[in-house]
Structure 1
Amino acid sequence: MPRLFFILVMVALSSCTQLYYKAQEKLGNEKRDILVSRIKKEREDQEKAKEQYRTTLEAFQAATGFQGGKTEDVYKKLKKEYDEAAERTKKVSERIASIEQVSGDMFKEWEKEISMVQNADLRSKSRVLLRDTRQRYSDLLRRMKAIEAKAKPVMKAFEDQVLFIKHTLNAEAISSLKTNVAKMDAEVQGLIRDIEAATKEADNFIASLPMGA
């Protein structure tokens, strides 16, 4: 029964995806256009996540200078920043999944269309173009996946500190941040650099993507 349910769900999702593509085609948007749009949105999501990671880190750094007051207020501030970062991270992952879906469908369609070309020379050139585009896409996807993976320990470090402060709610817990903030800073700065590099690679991929893909 579970296997049958899974199959039915996948069939339903596939049908919805095909209907979406057909609707987009009526608007003049091919799979290439959808892919470019999603990569641009992923770039925007990564930029927002990058800024939120920086803001969250700054909130933790500021908390190390706690000089008295309500520790609960400090916790609420850090929790708010962490939640924002978690939401941004989730959006980046969801966008990557949507990119993988449309790129897979685009490359399948491309391969099918190449098989329909009778001219051997044109067919060969199309295959070379497909191979090169797929390689550049693989490089871009690998970089996006690397950012996704690198964000996990950063978010976990944020979460650990927030939970520790929540469970104790005292000045000593907040002062303990000082021993971990330096490591958190190094991890966040490394993540930010990777996001900036991914942005450039996304721009290069979009510029190199053939118009007829």
Structure 2
Amino acid sequence: MPRIKPCSQTCDMTRNLALALALCVIAPTTLTGCATAAYNIQERFGIEKRDILVSRVESVVKSQTEAKEEFADALEAFRAVVAVDAGELETVYDDLSRAHDRAKGQAGEVRDRVSSVKRVAEDLFNEWERELGAYSDAGLRRSSERQLRDTQQKYAALTDKMDAATASMDPVLAVFNDRVLYLKHNLNARAISALGNETTDIESDVARLIAEMERSISAADAFIKDMNGV
């Protein structure tokens, strides 16, 4: 029988982090306490808050890239509906409904990941601010404080773009949701004709959304490079 190798350091971290999260669920105290426990475990393995922040910003980039694709797919599904023959309407409507649901789900993921970035950034900056008082060398303290203010300024620019991109999703989702419901209740040629003139407006809405996403992704990429010293 092959010898079983001992669990690696990564396994230990994963197990300990899972235990900390489980305790937060079973015996919750405060969200701050749970977050601190998770941070402490990760920091024991050399993962600092700035590393966690970079990782979460990378997750936002991934989610926003996927959101762009899902909204573009929903637009294509809408175009297909307004151009379809009446006999195929129900099938194409089903495609639009699924595309809308995927876009809605992806939008929720973007919001969650942006929120997670804000939580860890707040914790990082609060910790950094507190630790400025621990310096005995005034010159090093001033240098660290300048770096903190510079990082906060760049982060603020990033969150402005992330928030703009996130906000741009809701109006487009509302438009698609209305059209999906309308078609659901009126699966006929007259309904298709009524929606046919709205294609240009929806295309413009999706184009603006994608542009906001791209601005946010570019800002996130720049922030990640700066945090990594690239």
TM-score, structure 1 length as denominator? 0.90
Equivalent residue for 1:88? Answer: 106
Deviation of residue 121 (structure 1)? 1.4
- How far, CA to CA, are the matches of 2:86 and 2:187 in structure 1? 12
User: Can you give the 5+ residue segments of structure 1 that lack an aligned partner in the other structure?
Assistant: 1-8
- How far, CA to CA, are the matches of 2:45 and 2:189 in structure 1? 59
Q: Percent identity at matched positions?
A: 38
Taking structure 1 as reference, are residues 190 and 10 closer, same or farther at Cα in structure 2, changes over 3 Å only?
farther
- How far, CA to CA, are the matches of 1:159 and 1:188 in structure 2? 14
Which of 122, 145, 165 is residue 183 of structure 2 equivalent to?
165
Question: SS where residue 66 of structure 1 aligns?
Answer: coil
Determine if contact 2:73/2:99 at 8 Å carries over to the other structure: yes
Equivalent residue for 2:217? Answer: 199
Mapped pair 1:187 → 2:205 = yes
Deviation of residue 49 (structure 1)? 0.4
Determine if contact 1:46/1:92 at 8 Å carries over to the other structure: yes
Determine if contact 1:66/1:175 at 8 Å carries over to the other structure: no
- How far, CA to CA, are the matches of 1:126 and 1:19 in structure 2? 26
Determine if contact 2:89/2:188 at 8 Å carries over to the other structure: yes
- How far, CA to CA, are the matches of 1:11 and 1:42 in structure 2? 28
Q: Cα deviations across residues 185-211 of structure 1 (Å, max 9, x unaligned)? A: 011111111211211111111111267
Taking structure 1 as reference, are residues 74 and 210 closer, same or farther at Cα in structure 2, changes over 3 Å only?
closer
> Which residue identity is paired with 2:195?
L
Q: Cα deviations across residues 160-190 of structure 1 (Å, max 9, x unaligned)? A: 1001111122221122221211111011111
- How far, CA to CA, are the matches of 2:191 and 2:180 in structure 1? 10
User: Can you give the 5+ residue segments of structure 2 that lack an aligned partner in the other structure?
Assistant: 1-26
> Which residue identity is paired with 1:131?
R
- How far, CA to CA, are the matches of 2:135 and 2:158 in structure 1? 29
Mapped pair 1:21 → 2:54 = no
Q: CA RMSD of the aligned region, Å?
A: 1.6
> Which residue identity is paired with 1:139?
A
Determine if contact 2:49/2:120 at 8 Å carries over to the other structure: yes
Question: SS where residue 28 of structure 1 aligns?
Answer: coil
Which sits farther off after the overlay, 73-82 or 128-137?
73-82
Mapped pair 1:37 → 2:55 = yes
1:1-213 matches, within 5 Å, as: 11-209=29-227
Determine if contact 1:60/1:177 at 8 Å carries over to the other structure: no
- How far, CA to CA, are the matches of 1:175 and 1:31 in structure 2? 54
Q: Cα deviations across residues 85-130 of structure 1 (Å, max 9, x unaligned)? A: 0000000000011000000000001011111112111111111111
Deviation of residue 11 (structure 1)? 4.2
Question: SS where residue 177 of structure 1 aligns?
Answer: helix
> Which residue identity is paired with 2:49?
K
- How far, CA to CA, are the matches of 1:21 and 1:76 in structure 2? 44
Q: Could you list the runs of 4 or more consecutive aligned residues of structure 1 that deviate by over 3 angstroms after TM superposition?
A: none
- How far, CA to CA, are the matches of 1:10 and 1:92 in structure 2? 26
- How far, CA to CA, are the matches of 2:32 and 2:126 in structure 1? 14
- How far, CA to CA, are the matches of 1:27 and 1:52 in structure 2? 37
Deviation of residue 73 (structure 1)? 2.0
> Which residue identity is paired with 1:128?
R
Number of residue pairs matched?
203
